[in-house]
């Protein structure tokens, strides 16, 4: 199956009607909804290959599915926040809870699965863990959760690495003459994503850029997302880890953890611990590592998206 997603917008009333963009694949009336949430500086088109693979799998089984890939506020086609201090996991989780509730009112889906890469996985843990704790309610309790190269503990060295480049494309900085030039520049920072052909990387990268008025290109995220990130300390990070473990322990969805074997963000020890914890899950979380990949797998490689698709369509 070859198709293209539809770009739609959802008004976040609690954010002053800021628009959150999202990419919708498949049947809008499908009863099975898969929501995909991207990493810190990324956007929803990162999941194009995975979304098509999910639709193909559903079609082969005679089933209908809708895949929605959001652009979290401040990224991609979504509006930027007026207050950079609101670029935080609890706020993103609230955005998604409001969004998923509104979607259910419009389309009444019956099955909900969540795929989250890095930050998207943290948002997923916040949402699903809060549902398990009884702090919030969703119209449908999520059935499957994919945590892509992220867990309750984020390695401090990785935070330092990310902080070194985050938000460095203020006006006049990080401007590219062509999409290929931008893709080449991003590869320097993102080679840990693992092997990609030149065509695959350009396809991922071109959605990561927006065209300027002068015809040049810049990165499609608000540099201000770095504001709160750069206030992190070892102490606040440790406190956040304790909270995330509490949320993780209350997740009730069947969970798959995917990890780049060379990841510097999700350690092997943390990933293994996640398979031993999460006692409200119907079965222990499953961990799969991808050789030759760091942070984070993109699900472009066939073995990667086949794994996720099979898990979601069980």
State how beta strands 18-26 and 6-12 pair.
antiparallel
Q: What is the pLDDT of residue 314?
A: 84
Q: For 85, list phi and psi in degrees, rounded to 5.
A: -70, -10
Do the Cβ atoms of 68 and 25 come closer than 8 Å?
A: yes
Q: Is the pTM of this model over 0.85?
A: yes
Which tens digits make up the pLDDT trace of 155-176? 988 888 888 778 665 554 568 9
Does the pLDDT value for residue 125 go beyond 50? yes
Q: What is the 3-state composition of the chain as percent helix, strand, coil, each rounded to the nearest 5?
A: 45, 20, 40
Does the pLDDT value for residue 6 go beyond 80? yes
Q: What is the pLDDT of residue 2?
A: 47
Does the pLDDT value for residue 237 go beyond 90? no
Question: What angle (nearest 5°) sits at the alpha carbon of residue 73, between those of residues 21 and 125?
Answer: 105
Grade residue 305 by pLDDT with cuts at 50, 70 and 90. Answer: very high
User: Count of CB atoms within 10 A of residue 160's CB?
Assistant: 11
When the pLDDT of each residue in the chain is averaged and rounded to a whole number, the result is: 93
Mean of pLDDT values over 9-27 = 97
Q: State the DSSP code for 79.
A: P
State how beta strands 111-117 and 66-70 pair.
unpaired
Locate 211 and state its tokens.
């065209």
Question: What angle (nearest 5°) sits at the alpha carbon of residue 110, between those of residues 107 and 113?
Answer: 105
Do the Cβ atoms of 88 and 126 come closer than 8 Å?
A: no
Does the CA dihedral 299-57-38-283 come out positive or negative?
Answer: negative
Locate 128 and state its tokens.
């699903």
User: What distance in Å separates the CA atoms of residue 284 and residue 280, rounded to the nearest whole number?
Assistant: 9
* SS3 (DSSP) at 173: coil
Q: For 146, list phi and psi in degrees, rounded to 5.
A: -110, 120
Contacts of residue 178, defined as CB under 8 A and 6 or more positions apart, other chains included, come to: 217
Which tens digits make up the pLDDT trace of 174-223? 689 999 999 998 998 889 999 999 999 999 999 999 998 899 999 999 99
User: Which H or E element spans position 113?
Assistant: strand 111-117
- Among the residue ranges 39-48, 60-69, 181-190, the one predicted with the least confidence is 181-190
Give all domains of the chain, ordered by start, each with its CATH number: 6-167+221-312 (3.40.50.1820)
User: What distance in Å separates the CA atoms of residue 257 and residue 228, rounded to the nearest whole number?
Assistant: 27
* SS3 (DSSP) at 294: coil
Grade residue 92 by pLDDT with cuts at 50, 70 and 90. Answer: very high
Grade residue 261 by pLDDT with cuts at 50, 70 and 90. Answer: very high
Q: For 308, list phi and psi in degrees, rounded to 5.
A: -65, -45
Q: For 313, list phi and psi in degrees, rounded to 5.
A: -95, 5
Do the Cβ atoms of 72 and 22 come closer than 8 Å?
A: no
């Amino acid at each position: 199956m070859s198709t293209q997603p539809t770009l739609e917008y959802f008004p976040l009333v609690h954010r002053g009607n800021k628009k959150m963009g999202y990419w919708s694949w498949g049947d809008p009336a499908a009863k099975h909804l898969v929501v995909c949430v991207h990493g810190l500086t990324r956007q929803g088109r990162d999941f194009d290959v995975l979304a098509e693979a999910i639709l193909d799998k559903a079609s082969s089984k005679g089933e209908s599915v809708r895949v929605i890939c959001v652009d979290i506020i401040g990224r991609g086609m979504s509006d930027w926040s007026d207050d950079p201090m609101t670029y935080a996991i609890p706020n993103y989780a609230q955005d998604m809870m409001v969004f998923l509730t509104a979607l259910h009112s419009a389309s009444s889906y019956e099955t909900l699965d969540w795929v989250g890469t890095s930050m998207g996985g943290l948002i997923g843990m916040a949402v699903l863990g809060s549902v398990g704790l009884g702090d919030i309610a969703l119209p449908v309790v999520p059935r499957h959760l994919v945590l892509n190269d992220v867990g309750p503990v984020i390695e401090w060295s990785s935070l330092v690495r990310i902080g070194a480049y985050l938000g460095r494309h203020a006006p006049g900085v990080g401007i590219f003459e062509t999409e290929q030039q931008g893709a080449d520049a991003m590869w320097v920072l993102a080679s840990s994503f693992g092997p990609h052909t030149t065509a695959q990387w350009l396809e991922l990268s071109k959605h990561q850029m927006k065209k300027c008025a002068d015809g040049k290109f810049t990165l499609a995220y608000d540099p201000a997302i770095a504001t709160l990130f750069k206030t992190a300390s070892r102490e606040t990070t440790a406190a956040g880890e304790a909270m995330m473990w509490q949320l993780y322990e209350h997740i009730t969805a069947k969970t798959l953890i995917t990890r780049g074997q060379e990841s510097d963000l999700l350690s092997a020890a943390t990933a293994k611990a996640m398979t031993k914890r999460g006692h409200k899950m119907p079965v222990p979380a499953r961990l799969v590592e991808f050789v030759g990949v760091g942070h984070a797998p993109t699900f472009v490689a066939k073995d990667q998206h086949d794994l996720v698709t099979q898990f979601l369509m069980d």
